[in-house]
Structures are given as C-alpha cells and as structure tokens.
Structure 1
Amino acid sequence: MSDTHIYILSGLGVDRRVFYKINFKGLNVTYLDWIAPIPTESISCYARRLSAKITTESPVLIGLSFGGMVAMEIATIIDVKQVILLASAKEDNELPKLYKLIGTLRLHKFIPTSVLKSHHILSNYFFGISLKEDKMMLKQILQETDAKFLSWAISQIVNWKNKTIPNNLIHIHGSKDRIIPIRNVLPTFIIQRAGHFMTITHAKEIETLIQNILLKYLKH
C-alpha cells in the first residue's frame, strides 16, 4: 500500500463519528476538523484556510457530503493525488435544482437554524436510516452542530458554483440518496439501496470499495 497521506472531510458540521464503522487500519489517515467560518467568506476562501492544515504533498482527499464540496475546492488550490467523494456533488449541476432556487431567492435566510437542527421522522427519511442506533446518532449530530457553521454552510451549498472536475476523481454515491438524488449525479460507483447516511448504514461496502480504490490507484 502507498504511504500517501489521506485527509478526510466529514459532512456538514459533523465530525469523524460518521466514519466510526469504517476501518482505515494500515492507512495514513488524518481527519480535517472543521474550522470556524468567517461570516462573509466564500467556500473557496474557506477551503484555502482549511487547506493550510494539510502538511503533506499530493495527498488523497476523502470528502463526505458538504465535505466533498470543500474537497473539490481544495483540489483547485493544492496538488492532490486523488479525490474520493462520498454522497456528495462534484459540480453544482449535480445538486437539486430546488437548492439553486432557494439560493437565488435567498429563502434559506428565512429558515431558523433551530428547524434545521431538529430531529424528526423526516430527518430519518431524508438521511435514509431506520435503525434506532442510527437515528440516535443523527439526533446527536444535529443537536451538536454549530448553528453559525450550519447557517454559513447552507448558504454556500445553495449558492455553489463549480465546473472544475479533476481527472483523478472517484465519486461514490447511494442509489437511494434523498438529499443529493442520484438522478442528478454521474457517480463512479453506486452503493445499492444506500442513502445519504451511507458511511453508517453501508460502512462495510464503502470500506471495501475505498480499500480497493487505494490499492488500484495508489500502489505506485
């Protein structure tokens, strides 16, 4: 296995707990924890500040959901060996048109963060989870998500403009993702029956796939 360093970016406002079922044993992994955004900064400026925490040359970036979007921005700033997206979007046309409409009309400014942080039956539906333990984890994640980060990140998502796609990109997506529906996405690999919470619900499949990807693409 290559000694290439792997940096992992979690989803919107969450931490490494969403990867706790995935075994990265034998890999040189660092979790890129979120930093506080400056209220008016763009996702590209944020990515530049976050990229300062990457201390090795030509790393691999693994980005989940919003973390994948940030990884795409980082890949335009530094040289990367590989970008692996999980339940994410590599360019803005892969996001639902509704998100763009919300951004254009600035409707997200009128949604209280308390509503976005609340856990209910629709949360479980959109994240594609049914097990009690997964519901409890989602509830805890939503409760602990920083409201200011959440508000800033949602604004970046609904206003994201990206058309730059590196050649060294792998996109893994769930066939039942309801937050970034697969009908908008051209993934490299599809995890059947997986939703947006697939690093928890389909962890073993993703673990095997990532290991195979790294063996194939990074063996030199």
Structure 2
Amino acid sequence: MSDTHIYILSGLGVDRRVFDKINFGGLNVIHLEWIPPISTESISCYAQRLSTKITTKCPVLIGLSFGGMVAMEIAKIIDVKQVILLASAKDDNELPKLYKLIGTLRIHKFIPASVLKSHHILSNYFFGISLKEDKMMLKQILQETDAKFLSWAINQIVKWKNKTIPNDLVHIHGSKDRIIPIRNVIPTFIIQRAGHFMTVTHAKEIESLIQKILHKDLNH
C-alpha cells in the first residue's frame, strides 16, 4: 500500500457522513475537520491555519463543494500530490455570476443563518435529492451546522477570487448540479444525472472513479 495520505475536506457545514457510502479501499484517508473561523479572516488565512493539520508531505486533497475551494487555497500553501474536486469550482469563474452579484450587493449579510440552516423542498431541489433517507440526512446536517461557520463561509464563497490551478487536478461534477451548474464548469469527469449531493446519491460511480484515479496516480 502506498504511504501517500489522502485528506478529505467536506462541503459547507457538511461532515464526513456524506462520504459514508464511498469505499476508499484501504487507502490512507484522513477527514480534515473544519476549525472555527476567525470572523474577519479570509479564506486564504483560514486555509493557512487548516493546513497545519496536514502532517504528511505531498498529500492528495479531495475537496467537496466549499471544501474544494479550501483545498485549492491549501494547494497554494503546501506541496500536494494531487487535488480532486467534487461538485466544486477550480476558480471563481466557475461559480454562478449570481453569487458574485450577491457578494457585491452584500445581500447575504441580510439573510439570517436560521433561514440558511432550514430544510425545505427547495433544499432538496438544489441538492438534487429525492429519497427520504437522503432528505433526512440533509435535514440533520443543516440543523447541526454551526451558524457562525455557515455565515463566514458564505461570505468567502461570494467574494472568492482564484485563478491558480494546480498541475495535477481532477474535477468530478454532476450534470444536474443546481448549486454550481455544470454550464459554468470544465470538469475532467461528468457524473450523469447527479446533483450537488452526488457523494451520497451516486456514491458507487464516484467511488469507482476515485479508486481508478488514486490507484493510477499512487502507482506512478
């Protein structure tokens, strides 16, 4: 087995449960837990602090959604073997223009965290889920999300500026993603009919892809 370590960064307010259905086949996988943000810090400063939790040289980073954006920032700070993005964005041009407008007009500052944490039919629509168990998982995750972290992270998303792309980057995206629509994205692999919750709804397809990518890369 390779001694390369794989660090996983989950999505905004999302924990490792969304990776429960993915089997990493005995690889050295570490779930990088979110640390509390300092209210005024930028995503790059946050990534700098979070990167100190990575204790091995040249790791592989797997970033889901907001976790992918943080992974992109960490890759500017430390040497990484590879970055794998899931339902995320490589640069700010891959995010919807609406998000930039919201950031410019500071609309997000007027939306209470309680509203963002609430689960309803629109949540299911935007995350692309229909099964009852998936809806229950999303509801629980939203309820347990730290409100301060949520508000801070949304502020970072709408203000994110990035043009630096690591050499060895793989981007996996769902064709039906409604939070980061594929029309904005140039992915390496497309998961057909998958939405933003694809690590849960299309776990086996993603597992197969990640296994091939990692084993191919780790054997070189």
Structure-2 residue corresponding to 1:49: 49
- Structure 1 stretches of 4+ with a deviation exceeding 3 A read none
1:67 aligns with 2:67: yes
- Residue type of the partner of 1:181? P
Identify unmatched segments of 5+ residues in structure 2.
none
Task: Write the distance in 1 (CA, Å) between the matches of 2:13 and 2:119.
Answer: 15
Task: Write the distance in 2 (CA, Å) between the matches of 1:181 and 1:2.
Answer: 35
- Residue type of the partner of 2:62? I
Task: Write the distance in 1 (CA, Å) between the matches of 2:61 and 2:217.
Answer: 13
Task: Write the distance in 1 (CA, Å) between the matches of 2:52 and 2:171.
Answer: 24
| Secondary structure at the counterpart of residue 109 of structure 1 | helix
CA shift for structure 1 position 36? 0.1
Deviations 1:65-93 (A, max 9, x none): 00000000000000000000000001000
TM-score, reference length from structure 2: 0.99
Structure-1 residue corresponding to 2:117: 117
- Residue type of the partner of 2:84? I
| Secondary structure at the counterpart of residue 206 of structure 2 | helix
Structure-1 residue corresponding to 2:147: 147
CA shift for structure 1 position 137? 0.2
Task: Write the distance in 2 (CA, Å) between the matches of 1:18 and 1:33.
Answer: 13
The count of corresponding residues between Structure 1 and Structure 2 is 220
Structure-2 residue corresponding to 1:40: 40
| Secondary structure at the counterpart of residue 104 of structure 2 | helix
CA shift for structure 1 position 215? 1.6
| Secondary structure at the counterpart of residue 47 of structure 2 | helix
- Residue type of the partner of 2:100? K
CA shift for structure 1 position 200? 0.1
Percentage of pairs with the same residue: 88
CA shift for structure 1 position 26? 1.1
- Residue type of the partner of 1:121? I
After superposition, where does 1:55-204 map in structure 2 within 5 Å? 55-204=55-204
- Residue type of the partner of 2:210? I
Identify unmatched segments of 5+ residues in structure 1.
none
